Amino acid sequence: EAQLVESGGALVQPGGSLRLSCAASGFTFTTSAMSWIRQAPGGALEWVSSLSGSGATVFYSDSVKGRFTISRDNSINTLFLQMESLRVEDTARYFCANSPSGHFDSSGYNYYFHYYMDVWGRGTTVTVS
């Protein structure tokens, strides 16, 4: 059974840094794109960042671009989110999720992941105050 477990959430002061981790098991990590999604208290889901299976292709929301860095270590089946220059508005529960599906383009050489969120972790809480 696919499982994702986030860790690293904490209380941090504005301007501080934090590194979140997401340990994956039960599926082929190297062929899954991965994402971070956050949810402020009482709020809606907000997509934060995604990266491809190899880690070569990354995407960020405008709200975190330049401050957050997504990465992965496929040797230990773990996804990371390095967060710098944290703001009060970054306070949220952070979820990781996998995206195992995709397609090849017409050339048959380029693979494009479908960044919907299949399996979710339970999340880890980041409080900036």
What secondary structure letter does DSSP report for 42? T
Our finding on whether 125 is near another protein (CB under 8 A) is no
User: What are the Cα distances from residue 38, in Å, to 29, 48, 54, 68, 84?
Assistant: 21, 7, 23, 13, 16
Where does this chain touch another protein (CB under 8 A) — which range of 20-28, 41-49, 68-76, 80-88? 41-49
Distance CA 49, CA 51 (A): 7
Our finding on whether 36 is near another protein (CB under 8 A) is no
Task: Give the dihedral sign, CA 113/117/121/123.
Answer: positive
Our finding on whether 124 is near another protein (CB under 8 A) is no
Q: With respect to another protein, which residue has the nearer C-beta, 75 or 107?
A: 107
Footprint of another protein on 84-113 (CB under 8 A)? 95, 99, 101
Q: With respect to another protein, which residue has the nearer C-beta, 54 or 57?
A: 57
